[in-house]
């Protein structure tokens, strides 16, 4: 009985070798997520204006580098998922560190705007191979259904990316300039992130999984069996639609929240202070999920997340007198949604093919996240804040309806599978 116990606790691999304890793997990957997000997705928020001022390049084009990167990340995400499914996440995540370092070095050295955008294309490859979707796929590939707790802890650590890297980027820009800041981030990827990926992420053979059991401790969550085959297509389409709508909403709010709050009459200082609550609210919601999530099915986690997002945005659109509270409610839903994005495919479809499935789900969400902010900017200029907030609330309400439909269909599929095998 020693061997299964060691497998659960991170001692011996199925092949008889040793691999790092699961907690150490998650801590390492989560710490790298802070750097990966902070030096890619969150980088323009701190450095776009200094780049435009220093170079004379149009600010929309400078910011557009991130959109280009997200499009590239979306296009490669299915292939990334298949690579993780076939060979594990170790080589893919290691490649992401090298790509992000190369792209950031390219930003630092770019003398012209086209080369600046080319560097963002390289960063996009690194984002597709190294942000949440790839890291979550890696954990699912390693631990099967036992990855659910690890995914919560990964997103909990990654939630500190903006809190850590926004002030760090600003400080480095003041001391070293924006090019120096990009070079420091490139060096950190090679000196810190790459060794973590190479030394802590276990190497696995095709078809090998280290642990396919729920994590021990406390009362284990009961897992329904994967959906029957006839039920899976519609479930996948609904899940993709839910995550894509969530990505549209998050992309728009992340970019335009300060301007939307100012349109409600806030000063810039008050708007910034209120928007700063988003990060802590996301992390706080993930802490609650980490404590209570083992007692509920991931379907309810998804339902709570879309419900909180809809409630917060509806209150903002209705002109609630205190904008901070609706924004905190919305942000709590966003924090839990990132967990549901990892848990739901595992709960509905099982661990087989999980990494490839995560890659397929990521593609439309990333494309939407790239396209939504500039389209929303045009709508904001033409129509104003109130119609944009109403649209966001309507999209969030549609997501609640889609989630309810998915919940009913999943319940029906599980209820009929033991009878005549009917699907969705």
What average pLDDT does this structure show over 155-181? Answer: 88
* CATH numbers and ranges of domains, the chain: 21-200 (1.20.1250.20), 229-417 (1.20.1250.20)
The predicted structure's pLDDT at residue 248: 92
Q: Per the structure block, which two tokens stand in for 236?
A: 């996948």
DSSP 3-state assignment of 12? strand
Least confident stretch, 100-104, 120-124, 140-144? 140-144
- Could you write out the DSSP letters of every residue in 174-236? HHHHHHHHHHHHHHHIIIIIHHHHHHHSPP--TT--S--SPPSSSSPPPPPPPPPHHHHHHHH
DSSP 3-state assignment of 348? helix
Contact 134, 84 (CB under 8 A): yes
Give 415's Cβ-side CA count (13 Å radius): 7
Q: Which residue has the higher pLDDT, 267 or 80?
A: 80
The predicted structure's pLDDT at residue 37: 93
Q: Per the structure block, which two tokens stand in for 364?
A: 């439309």
The closest alpha carbon to 311, from 325, 285, 330, belongs to 330
Residue 205 has pLDDT above 90, yes or no: no
CA distance 227 to 266: 48
DSSP 3-state assignment of 18? strand
At 294, the pLDDT band (50, 70, 90 cuts) reads confident
Place of tokens 């609904």: 238
Residue 208 has pLDDT above 70, yes or no: no
Residue 366 has pLDDT above 60, yes or no: yes
CA distance 399 to 308: 11
The closest alpha carbon to 30, from 166, 191, 201, 145, belongs to 201
Residue 381 has pLDDT above 60, yes or no: yes
CA distance 68 to 122: 10
The predicted structure's pLDDT at residue 329: 93
Give 348's Cβ-side CA count (13 Å radius): 33
Q: Which residue has the higher pLDDT, 89 or 7?
A: 89
Query: CA dist 307 to 304, 312, 322, 383, 404, Å?
Result: 5, 9, 19, 27, 10
DSSP for residue 41? T
Least confident stretch, 323-337, 389-403, 404-418? 404-418
Sign of the C-alpha dihedral computed for residues 356, 69, 252 and 258 taken in this order: positive
The predicted structure's pLDDT at residue 207: 59
Percent share of the chain, pLDDT over 70: 88
Least confident stretch, 11-15, 220-224, 258-262, 305-309? 11-15
At 9, the pLDDT band (50, 70, 90 cuts) reads very low
At 232-258, the pLDDT tens digits run: 888 899 999 999 999 999 988 887 887
CA distance 234 to 407: 12
The predicted structure's pLDDT at residue 375: 85
The predicted structure's pLDDT at residue 217: 40
Residue 295 has pLDDT above 80, yes or no: no
Least confident stretch, 8-22, 134-148, 341-355, 365-379? 8-22
At 216, the pLDDT band (50, 70, 90 cuts) reads very low
Q: Per the structure block, which two tokens stand in for 121?
A: 């294309």
What average pLDDT does this structure show over 219-237? Answer: 69
The predicted structure's pLDDT at residue 256: 81
Residue 136 has pLDDT above 50, yes or no: yes
Query: CA dist 41 to 124, 170, 280, Å?
Result: 9, 15, 18
The closest alpha carbon to 125, from 72, 175, 173, belongs to 72
Q: Per the structure block, which two tokens stand in for 214?
A: 């729920």
């Amino acid at each position: 009985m020693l061997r299964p116990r060691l497998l659960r606790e991170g001692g011996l691999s199925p092949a008889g070798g040793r691999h790092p304890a699961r907690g150490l793997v998650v801590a390492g990957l989560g710490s790298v997520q802070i750097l990966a997000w902070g030096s890619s997705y969150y980088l323009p928020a701190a450095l776009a204006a200094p780049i435009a001022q220093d170079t004379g390049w149009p600010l929309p084009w400078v910011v557009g580098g991130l959109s280009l990167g997200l499009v590239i990340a979306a296009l490669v995400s299915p292939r990334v998922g298949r690579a993780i499914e076939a060979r594990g996440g170790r080589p893919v995540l290691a490649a992401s560190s090298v790509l992000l370092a190369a792209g950031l070095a390219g930003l630092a050295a770019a003398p012209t705007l086209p080369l600046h955008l080319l560097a963002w294309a390289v960063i996009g490859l690194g984002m597709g191979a190294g942000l949440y979707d790839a890291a979550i796929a890696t954990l699912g590939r390693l631990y099967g259904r036992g990855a659910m707790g690890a995914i919560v802890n990964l997103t909990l650590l990654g939630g500190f990316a903006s809190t850590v890297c926004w002030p760090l980027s600003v400080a480095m820009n003041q001391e070293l300039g924006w090019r120096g800041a990009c070079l420091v981030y490139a060096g950190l990827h090679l000196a810190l992130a790459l060794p973590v990926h190479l030394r802590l992420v276990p190497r696995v053979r095709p078809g090998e999984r280290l642990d396919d059991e729920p994590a021990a401790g406390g009362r284990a969550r009961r897992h329904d069996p994967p959906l029957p085959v006839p039920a899976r297509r519609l479930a996948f389409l609904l899940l993709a639609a839910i995550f894509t709508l969530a990505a549209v909403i998050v992309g728009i709010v992340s970019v335009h929240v300060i301007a939307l709050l100012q349109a409600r009459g806030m000063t810039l200082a008050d708007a910034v202070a209120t928007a700063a609550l988003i990060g802590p609210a996301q992390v706080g919601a993930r802490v609650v999920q980490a404590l209570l999530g083992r007692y509920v099915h991931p379907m309810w986690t998804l339902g709570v997340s879309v419900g909180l997002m809809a409630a917060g945005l509806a209150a903002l659109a209705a002109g609630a007198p205190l904008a901070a509270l609706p924004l905190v409610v919305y942000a709590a839903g966003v924090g839990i949604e990132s967990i549901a994005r990892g848990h739901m495919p595992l709960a509905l479809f099982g661990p087989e093919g999980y990494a490839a499935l995560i890659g397929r789900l990521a593609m439309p969400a990333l494309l939407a996240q790239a396209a939504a902010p500039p389209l929303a900017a045009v709508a904001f200029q033409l129509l104003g804040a109130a119609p944009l907030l109403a649209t966001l609330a309507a999209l969030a309400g549609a997501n609640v309806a889609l989630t309810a439909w998915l919940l009913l269909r999943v319940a029906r599929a599980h209820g009929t599978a033991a009878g005549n095998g009917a699907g969705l």
